[in-house]
Amino acid sequence: MLRRLRRLTVGAYERLLEREISGTPSHVAVIQDGNRRYARERGAEKTEGHRAGADTTEQVLQWCADLGVEELTLYAFSTENFDRPPEEREALFDLISEKLRAFADREEVHDREVRIRAIGETHLLPARVRDAVAYAERRTESYDELHLNVALAYGGRAELLGVARDVATEAAAGELDPTGVTVDEIETRLTSGPTRAVDLIIRTGGDERTSNFLPWHANGNEAAVYFCAPYWPEFSRVDFLRAIRTYESRQESWRRTRVERAAALLRVVTDVELEEARRVAGRVREPTAIDPATDPIADLEDVEVREREPSAD
């Protein structure tokens, strides 16, 4: 009875959250934290936690497709994960290989035209993982409806450091003009990155940090961040909808701030113009010789220029 009541309550809450959401982020990135703690609290092997987390990944992909998210990036294996015990690391490689192949063969993936791609230093991975990556990418390379990026052997700082080294090397050799290095130039060199800027980062497991994940694509875009307590295997559709709502709230706050700043600037300009107009009117009622250096009309024009220039912000 209590279980049925809980299901009804959760269902009603999901519908409420759905009504509160009027749009979705284009690109969601997820740090899937808490798999090992989930297993440990249940007295299970760490690999069971990772396997349960893989099931959640399939659900999240479905939710993204249903809501119209265009790109999903999952932090599956970081460069720091190479420091884990060999037996855990090898079990993870087995699971990643298995799931990549299974995903690439799923009927839903092909029905929804999901393109699977690995990002990161994949050359560092074992051959079986690289083969699974190649298989998944080859099977879905013609799709463009939803992009699924699986971050493997990925580290954001290492990626940026590699780009910086390449730029420095080419500049030192006279092959590149340092003053010509633009944002677009950097992005073309981030070949292992996603296709678009990140709008929302989700991290499960309770920690409130982004752990070197997509610093160029997320921080540069000032992505919204949603931290939640459930471990990744426990992550629910309610949690996902809450994350989307956080993104929307941040977007609305950003738009409101822009409007408020624009209104404040307009008030400042208007107040200054009124004050200067009064001064001009007073001078007109009492004619005097006009010194160009102190001409109030010139003053007023200068104020307009000075006050309106920042509006490009």
Q: Is the pLDDT of residue 267 over 80?
A: no
Burial (CB < 10 A; 0-12, 13-18, 19+), residue 252, is exposed
260 or 98, which is more confident? 98
Any domain includes 243:
no
Task: Name the average pLDDT for the chain.
Answer: 81
| Residue 226 belongs to some domain of the structure | yes
pLDDT for residue 2: 76
Residue 294 clears pLDDT 90, i.e. is over it: no
Catalytic residue among 33, 35, 149, 199: 33
At 281-291, the pLDDT tens digits run 565 555 444 44
pLDDT at residue 240, as a whole number:
96
139 and 67 part of one domain = yes
pLDDT of residue 193: 65
The per-residue pLDDT for 248 is 87
- DSSP symbols for 148-186: EEEEEEE-HHHHHHHHHHHHHHHHHTTSS-GGG--HHHH
**Paired tokens of 182:** 């633009």
pLDDT of residue 292: 47
The answer to whether residue 18 is domain-embedded is no
Cβ-contact 210, 31 below 8 angstroms: yes
Specify if 47 maps to a domain. yes
pLDDT band, residue 228 (cuts 50/70/90)? very high
Catalytic (active site) residue 33: yes
* Of the candidate ranges 80-84, 132-136, 207-211, 229-233, the one whose mean pLDDT is the lowest: 207-211
User: Residues 200-219: pLDDT tens digits?
Assistant: 999 999 999 888 788 888 86
Q: Is 133 found in the same domain as 75?
A: yes
pLDDT of residue 282: 62
Could you read off the pLDDT of 59-98 as tens digits, one per residue? 999 999 999 999 999 999 999 999 999 999 999 999 999 9
Tell me the HSE value of 79 on the side-chain side, using a 13 A CA sphere: 16
Let me know whether 230 and 265 are in one domain: no
Same domain (yes/no): 44, 167: yes
Q: Are residues 35 and 125 in the same domain?
A: yes
Spot the catalytic one: 35, 55, 66, 81: 81
Q: Domain range for residue 109?
A: 23-235
- Are residues 283 and 188 both part of a single domain? no
Residue 170 falls inside a structural domain: yes
Q: Is 212 a catalytic site residue?
A: no
Confidence (pLDDT) at 205: 95
pLDDT at residue 4 is higher than 60: yes
What is the C-alpha to C-alpha distance for residues 37 and 42, in angstroms, rounded to an integer? 9
Q: What is the pTM of this model?
A: 0.74
Domain count, the chain: 2
Mean pLDDT of 307-312: 39
Clarify whether residues 160 and 299 are in a common domain: no
CATH number for 125? 3.40.1180.10
